[in-house]
Amino acid sequence: MARITLDGIAHAYRAVPRGDADYALKPLHHVWEHGLAYALLGPSGCGKTTLLNIISGLLIPTEGRLLFDERDVTLLPTEQRNIAQVFQFPVIYDTMTVAENLAFPLKNRRMERRAIAARVAEIGEMLGLTAEMGRRARGLTADARQKVSLGRGLVRPDVSAVLFDEPLTVIDPALKWELRSKLKIVHRTLDLLMIYVTHDQVEALTFADRVVVMNDGRVLQIGTPTELFERPDHTFVGYFIGSPGMNLLPAQVMGRHARVDGHVLDLGATYPASPPGGRVQLGVRPEYATLAAGDGIPVQVRRVEDLGRRRLARVALGPHELVATLPPGLSIAGSEAVLQVEPPNLHVYVDDRRVEGIAA
């Protein structure tokens, strides 16, 4: 039962960091609550794994303090922290059977023999490994091996958190889905804090209660999947979450209205005057930008992509390109069309950060 607090944690791989660019992880404050499943989402090299290794103690942070509940564990070695971690590639003790692999972390912590057997059987069953328990681990298939790795991460009953570092990379796409839902069930039954690193947004959004979006060593937004989709705090979040990502249009914002290439859009709220020199952008998700017949902003349709379940149109608004949804039943004759956006789905970004409007 634990809460993990990051108090100004930052890390640089260079011994003497010379500037902001040397930090793989920029100073970060965050509290991971017990019982929740978090996903750390971001492109490769954004600092996700660094953050994970700091929590598990494989790395000692350059700055800041790490607290498990109220206890400072910043300098505590890995084996003395109550942390389990599962790696990207299966790590298996080849000389042992599946059951011995699962029992290994418990045996090393001198748990009582009967308790070990019961726990190993329970976790093995949860992961569907019961039939393979007596087999030697080296002959297993890649996904069975990764299941054993996952099992070793989940087997300890007293851990503060289980960390996953892109654990499903090596798994077959069909099995991925199955394993992910299994992990979700395991999470509910074991009531643990789980932190799950991934660069796959679908994985993050389906697994997690809270998604932490990172880029370039910074945490950009922490929120539920819905929050990230409906109200991205940063243009990167808008672009990274969703497929295709959010449309961003350079605009001038004046009170309740925005002007894009000579056309005026209603924002539904009043925005303060943006600071001089700031880059102002208007963001709208393709799902909320619909082509229509009737009133709206005239656009040129470049191309329509039929994705089966929905149709997307690549359109041009003056010099700006964007992606819009083509509602079922509507057919476009020629390249002229009209774009409609509901005001609540329009977001204003100044220098990539979302600005909150004052509803009036």
Partner 1 sequence: MNDKAWNNRAWFFVLPVLAFVLFSSLIPMMTVVNYSVQDTMGQNHFFWNGAGWFQNLLDPTTDIGGRFARAIVRNFVFSAAILAIEIPLGILVALSLPRRGWAVGPTLVIIALPMLIPWNVVGTIWQIFARQDIGLLGAVVNKIGIHYNDTEDPVSAWATIVVMDVWHWTSMVALLCYAGLKAIPDAYYQAARIDAARRWSVFLNIELPKLRKVLIIAVLLRFMESFMIYTEPMVVTGGGPGEATSFMSLDLVKIALGQVDLGNAAAYSLIYNLITLTVCWIFFTTMTQLEARKGA
Contact residues for partner 1, defined by CB under 8 A: 56-58, 77-79, 83-85, 87-89, 91, 93-96, 104-105, 108-109, 136, 138-139, 149, 152-153
Q: What are the Cα distances from residue 25, in Å, to 152, 161, 195, 238?
A: 28, 21, 17, 21
Are 314 and 195 contacting, i.e. CB atoms less than 8 angstroms apart?
A: no
Listed residue (346, 352, 344, 350) closest to 220, CA to CA? 352
Query: Considering beta carbons, is residue 86 or 324 the nearer one to partner 1?
Result: 86
Query: Considering beta carbons, is residue 100 or 209 the nearer one to partner 1?
Result: 100
**CA-CA distance, 136 to 144, in Å (whole number)?**
12
Minimal distance, residue 269 CB to partner 1, in Å: 49
Minimal distance, residue 198 CB to partner 1, in Å: 17
Query: Considering beta carbons, is residue 108 or 226 the nearer one to partner 1?
Result: 108
Query: Considering beta carbons, is residue 71 or 138 the nearer one to partner 1?
Result: 138
Amino acid identity of 338?
V
Torsion of CA 44, 45, 50, 53, to 10 degrees: 40
Listed residue (31, 41, 39) closest to 8, CA to CA? 31
Minimal distance, residue 95 CB to partner 1, in Å: 5
Minimal distance, residue 93 CB to partner 1, in Å: 4
Minimal distance, residue 138 CB to partner 1, in Å: 6
Query: Considering beta carbons, is residue 91 or 190 the nearer one to partner 1?
Result: 91
Backbone conformation region of residue 167, classed left if phi is above 0, alpha if psi is from -120 to 50, else beta: alpha
